[in-house]
Amino acid sequence: MDSMKTTLNQFNSNQENSYDSVVVGGGMVGAATALGLAKLGLKVLLFEQKAPELVWDDATPFAVRVSALTRSSENILKNLGAWSGIENRRFQPFVAMNVWESGSENKLAFHAQEIMEPNLGHTVENFIVQAALWEQLEQQPNIKINLTEKIDTLTLPAGKDFQADAVLMLDSGRKITTQLVVGADGAFSKLRQLASIGLEQLDYEQCAVVGCVKTEKSHQNACWQRYTPDGPFAYLGMAEEVSSIAWYLPLDKMQWALSLDDKAFAREIEQASGFELGRVIHVAERSAFPLVRRHARSYVKPCFALVGDAAHTINPQAGQGVNIGLLDAAALIDQVSVALRQGRQIGTLPMLRKYERQRRGDNVIVQRSMEFFDKLFAAELLENFRHTVIDLTGQSKLSAPLKHWLMAQVLNGREEIPSLAKSSKPL
């Protein structure tokens, strides 16, 4: 593969200053949004600080950050043409998920074969997803990528002037006009601030310690999640005996966890996992971050929309963050497609409100569901109740329909899903 630096359709000062859409942020969700809009025939400008490396080597170390991609996300990436870039690098399907609590021998097991599916999703490193999307970006002649300039100010149309454009002033003094600005610049979104959109926040007072380890026993192409008094611990199967870990701890233990040497860290991981995969025999790079629920008070304004972490962050213990972000991107692309077919401006507030209604409620459900499970397993008073629920759900024949419904909801989505999230719906 050629280096991105030699093939990228980079923005330069001689190009015109008007675009159909400007996407700010070239991570997984931003890149998917820009690619989908370009495939609709729009002229797109993408702002990103640094292009990802596209050159791949099988010896590349496993990355710290990974995502558990659902079937909906897989379909979105396939329909955008990016899934092959993941297959050409590294990914791991998982066929089962096992959930249990410390102090209990019973596990709640979910198996793909129960719902006639080949798997329950794929574990993929975030940088691989981004690289696969950027390979497709560089093949779109109507996408330009600005790696050198930054946005200073954003001016959005006032009132009901559906013909007006958004105006972006860059730090170079250049002015860009566009029908639609998409903020995909992460949890600390500058674009959200420039658009004067407020934020609801809840500090979970927890952190997630993440990284990759090699274990004595095979992960059996499964994910393993054990609830402990400090918080859940999860193994997400990668390759062979390599697993990504997600270790949730009280926030005041974050620096302690990072300060451990590899041997001590391995021993703590073994304890947190209940030795489920045996000894930890190798520890790779690790990092940690605080857990905060964020939700933008609005996703849209005239000529402006937020997607992904710029609009919401959730408790990551079920791995749904990037999945709901990609659904945001797909839903916004759907609404833009409708506007184009009807010959209307793509940044009108009524059109963008439809996108917001489609996604905001579903994102709230996911946020609150993760908090419910976190509180359920954190409450000591509910210990007997939890054991009873896990035992009954795992053993009762009556529980099968509930388990099948839960797996289908997580794998395929809860509401009417966007076109790109369906199989065989390429743009």
pTM of the predicted structure, to 2 decimals: 0.90
- Local confidence band at 161 (pLDDT 50, 70, 90 cut-offs): low
Structure tokens that stand for 58 in this block: 């099988």
pLDDT tens digits, one per residue of 299-340? 999 999 999 999 999 876 656 789 999 999 999 999 999 999
Question: What is the β-pairing status of strands 280-296 and 199-215?
Answer: antiparallel
Beta carbons of 421 and 76 less than 8 angstroms apart: yes
Q: In the beta sheet, which residues pair with residue 122?
A: 69, 93
> In the prediction, which pLDDT does 413 show?
63
Beta carbons of 133 and 35 less than 8 angstroms apart: yes
- Other Cβ atoms closer than 10 A to 266: 19
Residues 353-357: what's their mean pLDDT? 96
Percent of the chain with pLDDT over 70: 82
Q: Which helix (H) or strand (E) holds 9?
A: none
Maximal CA-CA distance, the chain: 69
- Residue 421: pLDDT over 70: yes
C-alpha closest to that of 63 among 198, 212, 233: 212
Residues 102-129: what's their mean pLDDT? 87
Beta carbons of 99 and 44 less than 8 angstroms apart: no
> In the prediction, which pLDDT does 92 show?
95
Residue type, 37: L
Instruction: Map out the domains of the chain with their CATH numbers.
Output: 4-421 (3.50.50.60)
Question: What is the β-pairing status of strands 44-47 and 18-24?
Answer: parallel
State the DSSP code for 61: P
- Local confidence band at 369 (pLDDT 50, 70, 90 cut-offs): low
Structure tokens that stand for 160 in this block: 């009901």
Q: Which helix (H) or strand (E) holds 26?
A: none
- At residue 211, what are phi and psi to the nearest 5 degrees? 160, -170
Residues 372-398: what's their mean pLDDT? 52
Rounded distance between C-alpha atoms, residue 158 and residue 257, angstroms: 49
Beta carbons of 76 and 29 less than 8 angstroms apart: no
pLDDT tens digits, one per residue of 162-218? 678 999 999 999 999 999 999 999 999 999 999 999 999 989 899 999 999 999 999
- Local confidence band at 415 (pLDDT 50, 70, 90 cut-offs): low
Question: Over the range 19-54, which residues count as b (16 or more CB within 10 Å of their CB) and which as e?
Answer: bbbbbbbbbbbbbbbbbbbbbbebbbbbbbeebbeb
Alpha-carbon torsion, ordered 333, 337, 343, 349, to 10 deg: -30
Give me the chain's average pLDDT, please. 87
- Kindly report the length of the chain: 427
- At residue 410, what are phi and psi to the nearest 5 degrees? -70, -40
Rounded distance between C-alpha atoms, residue 108 and residue 266, angstroms: 26
Structure tokens that stand for 383 in this block: 């210990």
Rounded distance between C-alpha atoms, residue 176 and residue 309, angstroms: 24
Beta carbons of 209 and 245 less than 8 angstroms apart: yes
pLDDT tens digits, one per residue of 30-40? 999 999 999 99
> In the prediction, which pLDDT does 325 show?
95
- Residue 4: pLDDT over 50: no
> In the prediction, which pLDDT does 217 show?
95
- Residue 382: pLDDT over 60: no
Rounded distance between C-alpha atoms, residue 249 and residue 232, angstroms: 8
State the DSSP code for 66: E
Rounded distance between C-alpha atoms, residue 111 and residue 17, angstroms: 52
Rounded distance between C-alpha atoms, residue 136 and residue 84, angstroms: 10
- How far is CA 137 from its chain centroid? 19
Question: What is the β-pairing status of strands 18-24 and 175-183?
Answer: parallel
pLDDT tens digits, one per residue of 255-296? 999 999 999 999 999 999 999 999 999 999 999 999 998 999
Lowest mean per-residue pLDDT among 34-43, 95-104, 379-388:
379-388
Q: How far is CA 205 from CA 202, 365, 367, 388, in A?
A: 9, 21, 16, 28
Radius of gyration (Cα) for the chain, nearest Å? Answer: 22
Rounded distance between C-alpha atoms, residue 83 and residue 195, angstroms: 33
Alpha-carbon torsion, ordered 183, 185, 189, 193, to 10 deg: -30
Rounded distance between C-alpha atoms, residue 20 and residue 405, angstroms: 41
- Is the dihedral angle over the CA atoms 370, 376, 378, 384 positive or is it negative? negative
Rounded distance between C-alpha atoms, residue 135 and residue 126, angstroms: 15
> In the prediction, which pLDDT does 249 show?
95
> In the prediction, which pLDDT does 222 show?
94
Cite the beta strand spans of 231-381 per DSSP E: 231-237, 242-250, 280-296, 300-301, 304-306, 312-313
